[in-house]
Amino acid sequence: MRDRLMKGVLLVSALIVSAPAAADWKASNPDVEAAAKDDRIAAALTAVGKLDRAAVTDDHAAFAALLADDLAVNNPQNGVSVRGATGRRSAAGQISYSRYDRTIEYAGRRGDMVLLMGEEIVVRKGQNGLSAAAVHRRFTDLWKQVGDDWKLTARQATIITRP
C-alpha cells in the first residue's frame, strides 16, 4: 500500500515538473465577462495573453514588443522599472515563469485606455527545470493602443500571502 502511494506521489510530482509552460486569464465575475465583449477591452485582453505567454515561453522580443515606450512599473520586487529596465529583466531571465494565471476582477475603459485589475499566480522557472513555489500577486495594468497594437503602459504588482 505504501509503495503504491509513493508511486502515485512520484507520478503526480513528475507530471507537475514536466507540465508545459502555460499562461491563461479568466474572468472572475459576470461584469468582467460583459466588459470583455467591448472591442477595446477584448483587444487589451488579447495583448495580456500574448504578454503572459511571452513570459512563459521566454520570448523576450515578443515580451518587449508589448511594452509601451512610456511604460512605468511598480514591480513586485518593490522597485520601479521603466520600459528599458523591464525589457532587460525579461532578457536576463528575471521575468520567466512556468505558469502565469490571472483572474481579472475588473476590466474597464479609461478614455482610450483599458484598466485591468485582479490577482495573478505565477510560478517562476527554477534551477534544472524544476519550478519554484507559486507566488500570488495583486495587479493593476493600464493598456493603451499604439497604432494597431495594444501596449502595457503602467503596471503595479504586489506579492500577497495566501493561506
Give the tens place of pLDDT for each residue, 86-133.
777 777 777 778 888 999 999 999 999 999 999 999 988 876 555 678
Give the model confidence (pLDDT) of 15-65 as tens digits.
333 345 677 889 999 999 999 999 999 999 999 999 999 988 989 999 899
Query: Given this model, what pLDDT does residue 89 score?
Result: 77
> What pLDDT score was predicted for residue 94?
72
User: Would you list the DSSP string of the chain?
Assistant: -HHHHHHHHHHHHHHHHHSPPEEEEEESSHHHHHHTTSHHHHHHHHHHHHHHHHHHHT-HHHHHHTEEEEEEEEETTTEEEEHHHHHHHHHTTSS-EEEEEEEEEEEEEETTEEEEEEEEEEEEE-GGG-EEEEEEEEEEEEEEEETTEEEEEEEEEEEE---
